[in-house]
Amino acid sequence: METMKEQQTANDGLTTEEKILAAAGKVFTRKGMAGARMQDIANEAGINKALLHYYFRSKEKLFDAIFEKTFQQFVPLMHLEFDSTDDFRQMLRNMVRLYVMMVKKSPYLPSFLLNEMHQNPDKIQHLLLKMNVSEFPKRLQIRFSEAGITGDPRQLLLTLISGVIFPFAAKPLLMPLFFGNNEKIFDRFIEDRSVFLEDLMLRMLVNREEDDINLDSDNSNFNNNAL
Amino acid sequence: METMKEQQTANDGLTTEEKILAAAGKVFTRKGMAGARMQDIANEAGINKALLHYYFRSKEKLFDAIFEKTFQQFVPLMHLEFDSTDDFRQMLRNMVRLYVMMVKKSPYLPSFLLNEMHQNPDKIQHLLLKMNVSEFPKRLQIRFSEAGITGDPRQLLLTLISGVIFPFAAKPLLMPLFFGNNEKIFDRFIEDRSVFLEDLMLRMLVNREEDDINLDSDNSNFNNNAL
DNA sequence: TTACTTATTAACCGTTTGGTTAAACTATTT
DNA sequence: AAATAGTTTAACCAAACGGTTAATAAGTAA
């Protein structure tokens, strides 16, 4: 029998703190900060409510921990992913696949993040400073320039990300409107959408250079991204 | 001095009920159902809290009124817009412009709707029945077929709508990350985006027929849209 | 004016909520 | 074993909340 110093592992192999974080993540992402109840989180974690305040001082502190963790799970993906692959097209493909996978696993995430971002825009400022993403727009521009893309890379990136995330964020509407409340049909649609979006990206990249339709080539306002 | 029977107009030319609805709309869209307080709504309307319960019986009833109104403002736009113009490309252009205008006017709307939709997916089912949108997917398909588009029209439509809405829904993130917290730069980006999205649509329509990249032409799962 | 209906308010009520406390339980140290 | 530090709980608390009530004010009809 070994002695455990820092944290003792509970019955199911999880620290109490870990159990709290898992439960809080579940409840907060579903109900949001305002809709979540501390008692619900305690029940979900199978512990006493006072323990929540013992580990995290207040509801807001606990929420902040969850929000930060969830936020970082989302945003820096592009951050990391943009350096990993040499082939530009393959990189875009990977991004689509990665985001589809992520959102598929936890469908509440997008609307949770979007909503809480609006509720506390100040916290985002702070989070973006902690993760060092201030260089991201510059790197994004360089990456696109090297690939010979002339247009505003933000337009393309936003189209890509929104294209993946939005169907999940709007699922409760799309489900009865387009998919007859059939989960399998929805899943198949998402499968098709991955291909659709990859193809969409390729079309844009290929055509953009040789085409006469000019989209504000001198995008002079791209450098104003101070923090 | 005229006599008023049905509803007397208050000092500022608005019925009390109208003042309540306006105030509730403002508070609910910003704070959400769970985050909104009846007292805040009463304050915003400049009336006593009990009046809220006098006109609408409960918080949920009041919320439902706002949610329905807001929801209908959004969804049936495509519904109406899809019949108005003969020219298919012009119609898509109009849709983009219309949605940009709408969301620009009330930036909280997208994240509010997306979030509350997740919170009560059951209510959406009911709302979709009231608005008669059951025919919409069929009409959408027909409209696209007539224009000679072979791919799944839902993919294209979703790309369009998400492309417009998402930048506003994610504005608190994009603002410091891409636009240096400068509202004017953001506005200019949205202007550019309208053009970008219109161009994007045209590219897809033009190329899709003559291209060898085949995106699941036999979209057999499109007809399963019962309600 | 009188009677009556509708609109509006201040005060109140029961419940829920985030948070605290003091005691009990568990492990580690001496 | 005794003392100590860390963990967990039941019970409690004040504030906030949605909702009610009883009384008042305002408009309408006779």
Which chain A residue is nearest to residue B120, measuring alpha carbons? A172
Q: How far is A198 from chain B (nearest CA, A)?
A: 11
B201 and B91 within one domain: yes
* In a shared domain, residues A52 and A89: no
In chain A, the residue whose alpha carbon lies closest to the alpha carbon of B213 is A199
Whether B114 and A117 lie within 8 Å, measured CB to CB: no
The CA-based angle B55-B60-B65, given to 5 degrees, is: 65
* ipTM confidence: 0.88
**For position B74, what pLDDT does the model report?**
86
**Chain C, protein-covered positions (CB within 7 A):** 7-11, 16-22, 27-29
Contacts of B110 in chain A (CB under 8 A): 114
Pick the residue from chain A with its C-alpha nearest to B31: A119
Interface membership of B167 toward A (CB under 8 Å): yes
Question: How many other CB atoms sit within 10 Å of the CB of residue A183?
Answer: 10
**From the candidates B166, B168, B175, B223, which should be mutated to test the interface with A, based on the most A CB atoms within 10 A?**
B166
Does a structural domain hold residue A104? yes
Answer whether B227's CB lies under 8 Å from B114's CB: no
Alpha-carbon separation of residue B115 from A32, A106, A160, A199, B50 (angstroms): 9, 14, 21, 30, 28
Q: How far apart, in whole angstroms, are the C-alpha atoms of residue B39 and residue B26? A: 13
Tell whether B182 and B119 lie within a shared domain: yes
Residue burial A192-204, b: 16+ Cβ < 10 Å; e: rest: bbbbbbbbbbebb
Domain boundary among A57, A76, A109: A57
Q: And the tokens for B34? A: 């769970």
In a domain, A224, yes or no: no
B92 and B57 within one domain: no
Asked if residue B216 is part of any domain, the answer here is no
Instruction: Look up the CATH number of the domain holding residue A113.
Output: 1.10.357.10
Pair (B160, B58) in one structural domain: no
CATH number (domain holding residue B96): 1.10.357
Mean pLDDT in residue range A137-151: 86
Looking at the domain assignment, is residue A150 inside a domain? yes
Domain range enclosing B42: 16-65
- CB-CB under 8 Å, A225 with B179: yes
Q: What is the pLDDT of residue A77?
A: 62
For chain B, the 3-state helix, strand and coil shares in percent, each to the nearest 5, are: 75, 0, 25
Q: Does B213 touch chain A (CB under 8 A)?
A: yes
In a domain, A140, yes or no: yes
Nucleotide D22 C1' to residue B49 CA (A): 16
Q: Roughly what angle, to the nearest 10 degrees, separates helices B109-119 and B121-130?
A: 110
Residue A83 or residue B1, greater confidence = A83
Q: Are residues A36 and A126 in the same domain?
A: no
B127 lies in the same domain as B169 = yes
Q: Is residue B227 part of a domain?
A: no
Query: Is residue B222 included in any domain, yes or no?
Result: no
Chain segment A40-78, per-residue pLDDT in tens: 999 999 999 999 999 999 999 999 999 999 999 888 666
Residue B180 backbone class (left: φ over 0; alpha: ψ -120 to 50; beta: rest): left
User: Which pLDDT does position A220 carry in this prediction?
Assistant: 37
Range scoring the smallest mean pLDDT among A155-169, A174-188, B144-158: B144-158
Which secondary structure element, helix H or strand E, spans residue A96, and what is its range? helix A88-105
Terminal-to-terminal C-alpha distance of chain B:
52
- The residue among A100 and A202 whose pLDDT is bigger is A100
CATH number for position B26: 1.10.10.60
By percentage, how much of chain B surpasses pLDDT 90? 57
Total number of domains constituting chain B: 2
- What is the tens place of the pLDDT at every residue in B49-96? 999 999 999 999 999 999 999 999 888 666 566 666 678 888 888 888
pLDDT value at position A84?
A: 63
The reply to whether B33 and B125 lie within a common domain is no
Residue B157 near residue A163 (C-beta atoms within 8 A):
no
Same domain membership, residue B94 and residue B27: no
Q: Give the residue-averaged pLDDT of B4-26.
A: 76
Residue A223 pLDDT more than 60?
no
Q: Are residues B130 and B202 in the same domain?
A: yes
Q: Identify nearest nucleotide to residue A49 by CA to C1′ distance.
A: D9
Backbone angles phi, psi at B44, to 5 degrees: -60, -35
The verdict on residue B5 lying in a domain is no
Q: Are residues A37 and A118 in the same domain?
A: no
Residue A8 has a pLDDT of 44
pLDDT of residue B40: 98
Residues A187 and A91 both lie in one domain: yes
